[in-house]
Structure 1
Amino acid sequence: MTATDAAQLTADLIRCPSVTPTEGGALVLLEKQLSAAGFDCARVDRGEVSNLFARWGDKGHAKTFGFNGHTDVVPVGDEAAWTADPFGAEIREGIMFGRGATDMKSGVAAFAAAAIDFVSNTPPEGAIILTITGDEEGDAVDGTTALLEYLDTENERMSVCLVGEPTCPNEMGEMMKIGRRGSLTAYFTFTGIQGHSAYPHRAKNPLPAMARLMDRLSSHTLDAGTDHFDASTLAVVTMDTGNPATNVIPAECRATVNIRFNDVHSGASLTDWMQKLVDEVADDSGVESGMAVKISGESFITPPGPLSDLVAAAVQAETGRTPELSTSGGTSDARFVKNHCPVVEFGLVGKTMHKVDENVPVAQIHQLKDIYSRILTEYFA
């Protein structure tokens, strides 16, 4: 059988303009190829989001390897700043350009190609499941979460899962993810009484109170890190009133902070801590207060063991590098998969993701497919 060309599949996917939440033809293309290879496929669309489930092998098999990824991409941005068509998949000197080239149509193409060739050439005793969403770059409400709910409803089960996000900072094979920090955004509102700046005693200024709160939050050391996580971080990302006048004390001030936290904390414990500080500052200053919190994901870790050993060995065999086991970076859909089964992440070098002229060396796409193929071979050996 002719091998599935992962680079060609990457190019075909890039040419699908699947900016979140538009499907753009990407999942239609994948479903066609996977179905032709004997995968049972189902669209698991919810709301405006398109998702694809594909399984080869017996349903509910005790040895089922899963891949997870996404075909949606972030907006192009300033298209005039690109030197290549963002959806053209142009190749120059062995490098393919296009939105999603790195994040993460190449990863999806590599694991889809590896899975198709593997089941076609050496049908395993077991099953392979692919869950591919169109909502990772968006709100992530109707994407992988919908797929996992579908798995539960249909009594489908992945034994382990590999998420194909780009994980390597500079060189292919140098890093894999065995966990991720949690992410939380808090929105604060302090309300006082508007007045003339020449008569501050007749007003109640919410700005000093908000400044005190932001200082207390940002100067606090959350922790010193743990065995597998760096120290948690808190960043004040905005504080404003929308007040254009210099002779007016505004009635309201708003501020936002973002926290990336390790396994010392939970979203709930951090929310309780912030609410305590809000109440203290509001009581001292006499302003009215409000706080809203959005928890994008809790921290998690898949402890080093059989799954990380399997992936690390395949990476070392194909690249000559033993990947660092890391929990760095932002969030990914692994934060949802970890509730279903053990999960790790490994993929390409991510230096150009979300940038103008996002690109990937074609050779790296083939190398990634080889790594995924080796993982499947060893898992089912």
Structure 2
Amino acid sequence: MSTRIIRQLIRSRQQELVELAASFIRIPSENPSPEFKKRSAEMGRHISRYLAAKGFLITEHRRSENALVTVVCDAPLTRVPGPRLLFCGHTDVVPAGDCSHWTFDPFSGEVRAGMLLGRGASDMKGGLASLTFVAGLLQEFAPTLNLKGRLSEYFTLSCCSTHVLKIFLKRISQKHGVQQYLKTMFYISKN
């Protein structure tokens, strides 16, 4: 499959990506917020359902019963051994504050003049939707693209959950051999 064909495929499914990002924005996973755990869990379920439908195995990692969940979505691509590609993101957003100061509903996911509007459109719900969409496409077209290895999407329900990230790094690095990349990611997130 040529690069031109891949670009055409993505363009033909652009509305799916926009709708996915808008659906993420409509979940007000503000941090801090009294509804934070509930809304973050809703985000996790939404992403997990999308990727499970694409053939991903979903696993949750949690420090304790009441702790936030870190979700790993894993797909074998073509079941041919090879490297692992890991996408990472977080589901929480900064609180919107006083909504009367906004010129649109910050949780509408509205598209206006070709722009997707809402809290998290640029950090991180738009990016997380893009990662999720591309992960689904790669899994769907892995045989056609002759891809080898595994594809994983890791997302934490809070961008600030350093302790959860440490646990994740330890478990996943040992299990899947992606230690160097994850240590680098952790180093960047601490500073």
TM-score of Structure 1 vs Structure 2, range by shorter chain: 0.7 to 0.9
Matches within 5 A, 1:172-191: none
Structure 1: distance between partners of 2:125 and 2:181: 18
Structure 1: distance between partners of 2:140 and 2:74: 13
How far is 1:69 from its partner? 0.6
8 A Cα contact 2:169 2:179, kept in partner: no
2:186 to 310, 335, 339: 335
8 A Cα contact 1:66 1:159, kept in partner: no
Matches within 5 A, 1:225-304: none
Structure 2: distance between partners of 1:76 and 1:24: 19
Q: Tell me the residue number matched to 2:122.
A: 102
Structure-2 change in CA distance of 1:35 and 1:148 (3 Å):
same
How far is 1:38 from its partner? 0.9
8 A Cα contact 2:82 2:148, kept in partner: no
Q: Determine whether 1:49 maps to 2:68.
A: yes
Which residues of structure 2 form unaligned runs of 5+? 1-8
Give the number of the structure whose residues are more often helix, by fraction.
Answer: 2
Query: Cα deviations across residues 189-209 of structure 1 (Å, max 9, x unaligned)?
Result: xxxxxxxxxxxxxxxxxxxxx
Structure 1: distance between partners of 2:19 and 2:108: 12
Structure 1: distance between partners of 2:44 and 2:123: 16
Q: Tell me the residue number matched to 2:106.
A: 86
Q: Determine whether 1:129 maps to 2:129.
A: no
Q: Tell me the residue number matched to 1:141.
A: 162
How far is 1:41 from its partner? 0.8
Q: Tell me the residue number matched to 1:35.
A: 52
Structure 2: distance between partners of 1:3 and 1:97: 19
How far is 1:103 from its partner? 0.6
Structure-2 change in CA distance of 1:119 and 1:109 (3 Å):
same
Question: TM-score under structure 2 normalisation?
Answer: 0.74
Structure-2 change in CA distance of 1:18 and 1:121 (3 Å):
same
Structure-2 change in CA distance of 1:160 and 1:108 (3 Å):
farther
How far is 1:336 from its partner? 4.5
Question: TM-score under structure 1 normalisation?
Answer: 0.39
Query: Cα deviations across residues 103-155 of structure 1 (Å, max 9, x unaligned)?
Result: 1111111111111111111232110111101121x3x23443332233146x1
Aligned-CA RMSD value: 2.9
Matches within 5 A, 1:336-355: 336=187
Which residues of structure 1 form unaligned runs of 5+? 163-299, 303-333, 339-381
How far is 1:160 from its partner? 7.6
How far is 1:24 from its partner? 5.0
Paired letter, 1:101:
A
Give the number of the structure whose residues are more often strand, by fraction.
Answer: 1
Structure-2 change in CA distance of 1:105 and 1:113 (3 Å):
same
Query: Cα deviations across residues 137-189 of structure 1 (Å, max 9, x unaligned)?
Result: x3x23443332233146x12337869xxxxxxxxxxxxxxxxxxxxxxxxxxx
Structure-2 change in CA distance of 1:73 and 1:51 (3 Å):
same
How many residues get paired? 165
Q: Determine whether 1:12 maps to 2:23.
A: yes
How far is 1:335 from its partner? 3.0
Identity %: 27
Paired letter, 2:152:
I
Structure 1: distance between partners of 2:124 and 2:13: 21
